[in-house]
Structure 1
Amino acid sequence: KMARPWRTSLVLLVALYHVISPLYISGEPIGRLAFTEEGTFKIIQFTDMHFGEPNGTENDAKSQEVMRSVLRAESDANLIMMSGDMVSGMKWNGTKGWFAETYARVLVPLKEAGIPYVFINGNHETEGDLSAREILELDRSLSRGQHGLSLMDRVATPSPGRIQSKTSGTNYRMAIYGWNKTAVLPSAILWGLDSETVGCEGMPRSWGCVHPTVLEWLRANAGNAPRVPMIAFVHIPPTEFVTMWSAGGVKNGTRGETTECALLNTGTFAALRALGVQSIYSGHDHSNDYVGEWHGVRLAYGRKTGYGSHG
């Protein structure tokens, strides 16, 4: 189906803060991410863009225009989150360098806007010619020098070797500071989680889920995490998205297709709630954009961005 022009992205207005090294664009330091003087921090969520479909050149160009329209309308955004399925890896044509060429098209509007970004993998990126680790390395190589917009090498991740999964690559904690430039501690934290592809905990008919070792990492952080506002992004929604809908906890938005989550509740929601996360944002289900609250935590879909794939 052709995506309607308004099917762009969810724009998030959140209060947040993170401890990171200085960032660079064209050799000039960006400085650390921080609230504005007015006390706001705006995040644009792009999700399920699906660049690289068989007729990709035309649809990718249309999707770039959708992204540009959002970036123009929200030119004061502080951060872009690409929350998975940026590239349709399952449509890989078998040639070497396919993912790199496709992903470069994804980044064009971001580079034009000059807004820093982070991303999490969805269930389709690693179906192409690159592994999760290689995708991270590619992003770093494309974002060096004059474009230096990616923050993926500036985030706090689990210790090397802790995550025992070939398809899990984007798990991290990112802090954002307050307006006070002398602040040492973050005033809010963003968590990015990789929900992998399929086969949650060995269940072949299930969608993916956050790896158990990542959940251990989250639980280990719970005791010493600062008590500041926190949000989290995970591509495949936790099972509580279904429970909330069934229990009538949805405040607004639509459910245009079945909520496709893992068949097993592995405790992702519980681990994030224990950390103090106040909002969880997902993608994956292209025609869903409902928002609600479950046990004090906001659960929200970002509707599919652009023209790739269905929805």
Structure 2
Amino acid sequence: MADNRRRRSLFHISLLSASLLCLFLSPIPASAQPRKLRFDANGEFKILQVADMHFANGATTRCLNVLPAQMDHCSDLNTTAFLSRLIAAEKPDLIVFTGDNIYGPHVKDPVKSLNAAFAPAIASKTPWVAVLGNHDQESTLSRQELMKHIVTLPYTLSQVNPPEAAHYIDGFGNYNLQVHGAAAAAADSFLQNKSLLNLYFLDSGDYSKVPSIKGYDWIKTSQQLWFNNTSTKNLQREYNAEPNAQEGVAPGLAYFHIPLPEYWTFDSMNATKGDRLEETSSAKTNSGFFTTLVARGDVKGVFVGHDHNNDFCGELKGVNLCYGGVAGYHAYGFTGWPRRARVVVAGLNKNRDGKWGGVKSIRTWKRLDDQDLSRVDAQFLWNNPGN
């Protein structure tokens, strides 16, 4: 019976792989242009975070840290199958890939590997974005070249860098997306032209370029300047402006790869939900980005990858610091600890007149790659005290 299940699983993975290959051999339709992000008619916006796929060369790339019974038939295609199941089950409004999308040292052709890694998102026609980790560029393409390729793919909203900051900002893959109110067709919507949730994506780099500071890279002063300008001068001004002026600031979420040093604050006892199974591998220096986030006050959650065996959230000074957990089968993991991904849902408040207002709450859970695609560690990250 187990052998039959294994054969069926291999057949389905092979069939899925062939279907996704056909996707990239076909012309890209004009409809592949991504649509504007907005809350749905039920007042919700759902994000699927996929961390550390470590995709390499497909069926020939073996898995790491899986059970002995899985080893002989496990490959990158298991990552593809997991992502396809996730998308079908959750039906996200946006998919966010938070770096180490491919594992450069083992990649033969980075363009083909990127295409294959993102193929399930593209096949689903779901808007998606990506930032880079510390391993993506360890093949033959630079970080800039990788992002320049990513932005050409169907249904992506990724950007190489914001045009207004391209002349001074460090890294590649810094950008902001706005999530507007429900469509005007909804009778209970009047904020369809307001960004009610702001998403920030940043390049946390790879390795320190400062000889006296070893280890991983960090978010630079130029990126923090761009974040502050975008949040304060652009997004808050629009949020507070007529028509339909809103008070305060719209909440935000930030996504990047390498965790901030403040992630060290949490252990298995004081994290709100989830596991810490390894140390935090942050930069050896603190660039102050967490302080910048706290001072600005709009970002309610930070979501990273990098440390594969951590998937906890912890709240510090009003900001939730969360790991996505490892999704990729060619990434190191903890044997017997299923691959996983994080879901975040922002929900709108309904006003007394029955119309959707600003964001009321932000909640999260994780999905495991087991037989039932188990949903675990559901929690509220933020509730708007004004609602």
What is the TM-score normalised by the length of structure 1? 0.81
Match of 2:294 in 1: 273
Are positions 1:211 and 2:220 aligned together? yes
Cα distance change on mapping 1:215 and 1:160 into 2, 3 Å: same
The amino acid that maps onto 1:62 is: N
CA shift, 1:155, in A, is: 7.9
Instruction: State, as a whole percentage, how many aligned pairs show the same letter.
Output: 27
CA contact (8 A) 1:49 1:308 kept: yes
Larger relative contact order, structure 1 or 2 (CA cutoff 8 Å, min sep 6) = 1
Match of 1:177 in 2: 180
The amino acid that maps onto 1:56 is: T
CA shift, 1:303, in A, is: 0.4
Residue pairs, 1:121-136, within 5 angstroms:
121-136=132-147
Q: 1:302 aligns with which of 315, 318, 324?
A: 324
Q: How many angstroms apart in 2 are the aligned matches of 1:155 and 1:199?
A: 21
Q: 2:157 aligns with which of 147, 151, 154?
A: 151
Instruction: Give the SS at the match of 1:207.
Output: coil
Match of 2:39 in 1: 35
CA contact (8 A) 1:43 1:78 kept: yes
Instruction: Give the SS at the match of 1:187.
Output: strand
Instruction: Give the SS at the match of 1:218.
Output: helix
Match of 1:71 in 2: 87
The number of equivalent residue pairs is: 274
CA shift, 1:78, in A, is: 0.2
- Runs of 5+ consecutive residues of structure 1 not aligned to the other structure: 1-24
- Runs of 5+ consecutive residues of structure 2 not aligned to the other structure: 1-27, 63-73, 185-190, 237-248, 334-387
Match of 2:310 in 1: 288
CA contact (8 A) 1:200 1:207 kept: no
Instruction: Give the SS at the match of 1:251.
Output: coil
Q: How many angstroms apart in 2 are the aligned matches of 1:282 and 1:87?
A: 16
The amino acid that maps onto 2:279 is: T
Match of 1:162 in 2: 168
CA contact (8 A) 1:155 1:173 kept: no
Structure 1 or 2, whichever has the larger Rg, is: 2
CA shift, 1:274, in A, is: 2.7
CA contact (8 A) 1:89 1:125 kept: yes
Instruction: Give the SS at the match of 1:86.
Output: coil
CA contact (8 A) 1:200 1:209 kept: no
Instruction: Give the SS at the match of 1:235.
Output: coil
Instruction: Give the SS at the match of 1:126.
Output: coil
Q: How many angstroms apart in 2 are the aligned matches of 1:154 and 1:284?
A: 21
CA shift, 1:108, in A, is: 1.7
Cα distance change on mapping 1:290 and 1:203 into 2, 3 Å: farther
Instruction: Give the SS at the match of 1:242.
Output: helix
CA contact (8 A) 1:84 1:121 kept: yes
Q: How many angstroms apart in 2 are the aligned matches of 1:219 and 1:202?
A: 29
Q: How many angstroms apart in 1 are the aligned matches of 2:161 and 2:169?
A: 16
Q: How many angstroms apart in 2 are the aligned matches of 1:221 and 1:201?
A: 28
CA shift, 1:157, in A, is: 5.4
